[in-house]
Chains A and B, each alone.
Chain A
Amino acid sequence: MTLEAPRSGATAAESDGPAADVFVQVGTLTRQLHDALRQLGVMPHLQRAADGLPDARSRLGYIADKTASAAEKVLDSVDQAKADHAHIARQTRALAKALTADPVRAVASGAVLNFVDDVEASTARIDQHLTDIMLAQDFHDLTGQVVAKVVDLANDLEVSLVKLLVQVVPPQQQHKLQEVVLHGPVVDPEGRTDVVANQEQVDDLLASLGF
């Protein structure tokens, strides 16, 4: 990135009035900031991390798409497998009833052979659904690799920003440099007293409050 502050700012300010003067001051400040960042050694890292952000966005989008697609695929397969399973269960109950009522007739009518064919076809379909479920898990491998790259980028960005922050924050504000805890799923509840780790703790908390 190249930042060029006006070299002849005073002349421009004199000729164009207050607006030009503000422009010159902003340009000078930008130049000073740019130089300071370079001297601190932050700029190259920050620049590299910032350049990677659009790529990280697309990578995260890819992960979201891939995981959503896998979840849909699995749920579809489960729905279909359950339907086939329910069909076998129904046919089994019907055959049992027929055999109990009149075994000779059940066999003679071909009900038993039909049932065997039916079971064979249904189990073949169920097997295919299970294979589809297994294959849908490929998202884990693919997204895992992408996640690793995004984590690297986030680490670079964090290191650069923390370095910058430590350099510029006034001494009296140092105590405010605290870790920010984001809400949402708790990845590691160990040692934290402000969150629950499981449903049992939710129930205990609510019970202690009389709910």
Chain B
Amino acid sequence: MSQPSDLKFLVVDDFSTMRRIVRGLLKEMGCTHCEEAEDGSAALHMLRSQKFDFVVSDINMPNMNGFELLKAIKADDALKRIPVLMVTAEARKEDIVLAAQSGAAGYIVKPFTKATLEEKVQKIMQKLAATA
């Protein structure tokens, strides 16, 4: 199974503080390759121009929200294998179900702990290893 240090992460959030927090937590987990995007549109552009292994995305963002980004990733043959972990303040059940049905690899509600993020990332990586 891949280690976090082997993977390149893309953190997508319109709040720079939250990007920094998620990036900091990923770094503590050993994820040394990590880039940031401020909305779905910027993220999609980066995903199509660079190689990423894992996306951690907010939902409520300007230009292109997290759901639209998720659908665009899953509709793109070159990107659809990249796992997308949603990290969001949206706590409505219908949003969670929609994210799962749209192909999200995991869903975390804010505020969250380092342990929760670590657990979800590990779980997703285990699933990836099992299906590889």
Q: Could you list which residues of chain A lie within 8 angstroms of chain B, going by C-beta atoms?
A: 68, 71-72, 75, 78-79, 183-186, 189, 194-199, 202, 205-206, 209, 211
**B94 near A194: Cβ-Cβ < 8 Å:** yes
**A68 near B17: Cβ-Cβ < 8 Å:** yes
- Bound CA span A78–B27, Å: 14
Binds A, one of B2-10, B43-51, B69-77, B84-92: B84-92
**B96 near A199: Cβ-Cβ < 8 Å:** no
- Bound CA span A53–B90, Å: 28
Q: List 17 A-B contacts (CB under 8 A).
A: A68-B16, A75-B17, A78-B24, A183-B92, A184-B89, A185-B89, A185-B91, A194-B93, A196-B91, A196-B92, A197-B91, A198-B109, A202-B91, A205-B93, A205-B96, A209-B97, A211-B100
Tell which of A185, A202, A211 has the most Cβ of chain B within 10 Å. A202
Q: How many residues of B contact A (CB 8 A)?
A: 22
**B100 near A75: Cβ-Cβ < 8 Å:** no
Contacting residue for B108 out of A183, A195, A199, CB 8 A: A199
Give the contacts of B74-132 with A (CB-CB under 8 A): 89-97, 100, 107-110, 112, 116
Q: Which residue of B lies closest to A71 (CB)?
A: B17
- Interchain nearest-CB distance for B47 vs A (Å): 23
Q: Which residue of B lies closest to A208 (CB)?
A: B97
Chain B residues whose C-beta falls within 8 Å of the C-beta of A186 in the assembled complex = 91-92
Contacting residue for B91 out of A71, A195, A209, CB 8 A: A195
- Bound CA span A184–B90, Å: 5
**A206 near B92: Cβ-Cβ < 8 Å:** no
**B17 near A195: Cβ-Cβ < 8 Å:** no
- Bound CA span A72–B24, Å: 13
- Interchain nearest-CB distance for A81 vs B (Å): 13
**A199 near B92: Cβ-Cβ < 8 Å:** no
- Bound CA span A186–B58, Å: 16
**B24 near A75: Cβ-Cβ < 8 Å:** yes
Contacting residue for A199 out of B17, B94, B95, B109, CB 8 A: B109
Given A71-B17, A72-B17, A195-B92 contact (CB < 8 Å): yes
